[in-house]
A and B are shown apart, each in its own frame.
Chain A
Amino acid sequence: MKKRSVTNIKIFFEGAILSYRALFQWLRPATYIASKILAPLTMMIFFVFIGAYASGSNDASFYVIGNALIFAASSGIFGVTMSIGGERWSGTLPYLFGSPANRMAIFVGRAFMHILDGMLGVFIGFGWGVLLFELDLSQTHLIPLLLTIIITTYSTAGLGLLMGCVGLITRNVMLVNNTVFFSMLLFSGANISLETLPKWMQVVSIFFPLTRGIASTCLVVAGAGINEILPLLLEEFLIGLIFILVGFFLFSTFEK
């Protein structure tokens, strides 16, 4: 039993690393830099200037934080979806389903590297914010910030796992992914303050991951401690868990 658990952990990590290598090795250093550093920068510049122009404010921190976390969502949704969808595309899915391996270890393992990748994206976003938009992190406590980034990246990867499962039965999952991603730009409060949204949109935003992550990050950057953000983080964690469980349920259902 113990040996099987150890192997399950191995399936999780080995699957995470190998599937990332197998499906994302086209990312050469140049393409990786372009997708991780340059593309987020242009996106951030776009939303910061649009936001500043629309709100008439000189404080870019709200847009920098929102867009930095959107990079995590991008990695979580697109990366994880491609990771699961890639198994279908490469024809390895029947061999995964036909193996006796623990399904949860296979399924969640696919998200692991993308969570790390997403976290890196957030740090890069913050780096751009400090360098170009005078993001002030002098009041920020490191541990609450790290915790917020980890949990937010995890919850968006949860949505990615659910999307990946949808990819198992649909031919054009990228269409669904793009719709979800752009909805997140709107509903998560990354670029538009939730208070300014109509009531029904505020209700919809509750069901998206990232919403509480962005709110929590804004508080942490402003100097909040762990106690102040704990309820938000718990909710973010829960919503991520719900997406993972629903995704896993679909994964098991589609297997049959």
Chain B
Amino acid sequence: MNAIEIFNLKRQFKTTIGVIKRQTKEVVAVDGISFDIQEGELFGLLGPNGAGKTTTIKMLTTLLIPSSGTATIMGLDVVKDAEKIRPRIGFIFGGERGLYWRLSGLDNLRYFATLYYVDVNIAKKKIPELIELVGLKGREKEKVEGYSRGMRQRLHIARALLHDPEVLFLDEPTMGLDPVGVREMRMTIRDLQSAKKTILLTTHYMFEADPLTLSRPVFFPISILLTVFAFVGFGVIIASLFILIPDFQRLQNTLEFPIYILCGFLFPIALLPGWTTPISYILSPYWAARALHGSAQGALEINQIYISWVMLIFFSAVYIIGSSALYRLVLKRARVDATLNTTG
């Protein structure tokens, strides 16, 4: 089922220019956008400043009435069913505002829990859990004005989760955060996605809009483990070549750097001549490098990383099985030679 359905959504504003001779100008903030978001999906809305991301979020969170078009959240219309939608959604706007700075983080959460009709007993249990989830334990009784920007953003997340919403709207949640804060925020978003929340995220940054990036902490260690496997397979075939080819040591020194290049460890293979590509494709370290870069930099989509892993395992297995067969063949030949020598 689709959690969010938007069809031809439009929003125009009227602005005035001049003091004495006032001219009214119509500005189109959102110009007929349409998309669907499935339940449990993390959907990134990417665009520069003024692209209409925040206006879209405001319309979806019932704060702004669309000029035309339709939008539904969990099957409810954002205009007609605004009151029914509000308890089912949570939202945060980027930046530090939106909290009562002279109150403690705990008081802020208590007040917003009341505003969302969260049962007192549930709130008593839920608020400490959320404080722990967003890493504010021990600081919750301090005034928000003493919090860092990252802490305020995390308090926003806790506030948005108080009533356990099904759909979350995060408008530039990493705005103004330092790299550590950004990483923590992404991990929190990833955890929310694991909890099957539907998330609509707006951002300026391509790497943030890519859901893969949010999942990077999981993909990267797996890619490292498989890289080890790829090199074991590659090592086995090299060892076999030592057995098969006399004086392979000299040949290895000659081949070492071309292989590094063909695997894409030193620079992207796209920079190499086209005829080298098939050679790269049969090298398991190439697939390892691809998976590592993809998961570390968010340069690949999830399915491309899966493909890299499968290819890496396949070629490593081929190397190991092939080397084993080759080794057995060489051993058999050696035995035959020995037998012939003995009988001869």
Contacts and interface: CB of A to CB of B under 8 A. Distances in A.
A22 B117 contact: no
A90 B100 contact: yes
Contacts of B97: 90-92
Given A18-B100, A22-B100, A99 B115 contact: yes
Nearest to B156: A95
B117 A18 contact: no
Contact of A99 (B93, B107, B116): B116
A95 B103 contact: no
Contacts of B95: 91
Interface residues of A, number: 26
A19 B65 CA distance: 27
Interface in B244-273: none
A4 to B, nearest CB: 7
Contacts of B93: 91, 94
Interface stretch (A9-17, A70-78, A123-131, A160-168): A9-17
A7 interface: yes
A98 B98 CA distance: 12
B99 interface: yes
A97 B114 contact: no
Interface string A113-143: 0000000000000000000000000000000
A101 interface: yes
B61 A98 contact: yes
Contact of B63 (A18, A21, A97): A97
B103 A21 contact: yes
Contacts of A91: 93, 95, 97-99
Contacts of A97: 63
Contacts of A198: none
A25 interface: yes
A214 B117 CA distance: 41
Nearest to A94: B63
8 contacts: A92-B100, A95-B98, A96-B115, A98-B86, A98-B89, A99-B86, A99-B112, A99-B115
Interface of B: 58, 61-63, 65, 83, 86-87, 89, 91, 93, 95, 97-103, 107, 110-112, 114-117, 159
Closest 7 CB pairs between A and B?
A91-B97, A22-B100, A101-B115, A100-B86, A99-B115, A25-B102, A91-B98
